[in-house]
Amino acid sequence: MKLHDVTRAPNPRRARIFIAEKGLPMPELVQLDLAAMQHREPAYAGLNPWMGTPALELDDGTVIAESVAICRYFEEMQPAPALFGTGARERALVEMWNRRLEMGLYTNIAQTFRHTSPHMAQREVPQVPAWGEANRARALEQMVLIDRHLADGRPFICGDSFSIADITGGVSLDFARVPRIAIPPELVHLARWHAALAARPAWAA
């Protein structure tokens, strides 16, 4: 089993942290150099025509692309600890929160980076700086909503347990440093949650 990986990119990090939180051995990591556009070369595009990272290559040749799909594979192979929730209601709520954090916070941060960074000019064509700046404002709106949800002191974003939604949120906040979107100082609940996540041993994965 091989994990096609990009050490510093947020989506591969989500998969690696998930695997570490499950207590599973890390698959063999195969590094891709995005700056050199290796993910668009035939060797990788043949495995994953959508050319996103990471991708998990099973020993039978099956390729599972998309970080959350990779996490789902490991969840099904080893259910404990449950990181997608337990029971219908909780599984649905974890999915809801993971999507809120991914399609809200994460996407806003990533779009800010992709559309405002000179480093992305070659990979994001066309760059639309006005769209990048619109997303910077939206990322801050998302931070306010999440802070409000965490204001009762809850340790995790969904229910009583750590879940994939926490991974998505924490990795997103780590990544926010790249396009310089800081957590506003008044969002103390968000900052507390982020600090607790970053202190987890799996965060080093």
Contacts to a second copy by CB under 8 A: 49-50, 58, 62, 64-66, 68-70, 72-73, 76-77, 87-89, 91-93, 95-96, 99-100, 104, 126, 128, 130-131, 134, 145, 148-149
Q: Is the dihedral of CA 183, 33, 203, 96 positive or negative?
A: positive
Nearer to a second copy, 190 or 203 (CB): 190
Tokens of 124: 């994001």
Rounded to a whole number of angstroms, the CA Rg of the chain reads 17
Taking the complex as a whole, how short is the minimal distance between the CB of residue 199 and a second copy, in angstroms? 27
What is the Cα–Cα distance from 174 to 31, expressed in whole angstroms?
21
- Residues near 106 by beta carbon (within 8 Å), at least 6 away in sequence: 10, 168, 171, 172, 175
Residue pair 203/171 in contact by the 8 Å Cβ criterion = no
Nearer to a second copy, 16 or 100 (CB): 100
Taking the complex as a whole, how short is the minimal distance between the CB of residue 18 and a second copy, in angstroms? 12
Nearer to a second copy, 72 or 123 (CB): 72
Phi-psi category of residue 88: left, alpha or beta, with phi > 0 → left and psi -120 to 50 → alpha:
alpha
Taking the complex as a whole, how short is the minimal distance between the CB of residue 204 and a second copy, in angstroms? 25
Taking the complex as a whole, how short is the minimal distance between the CB of residue 201 and a second copy, in angstroms? 25
Q: Which residues pair with 70 in a beta bridge?
A: none
Nearer to a second copy, 134 or 140 (CB): 134
Nearer to a second copy, 121 or 145 (CB): 145
What is the Cα–Cα distance from 113 to 101, expressed in whole angstroms?
17
Taking the complex as a whole, how short is the minimal distance between the CB of residue 23 and a second copy, in angstroms? 17
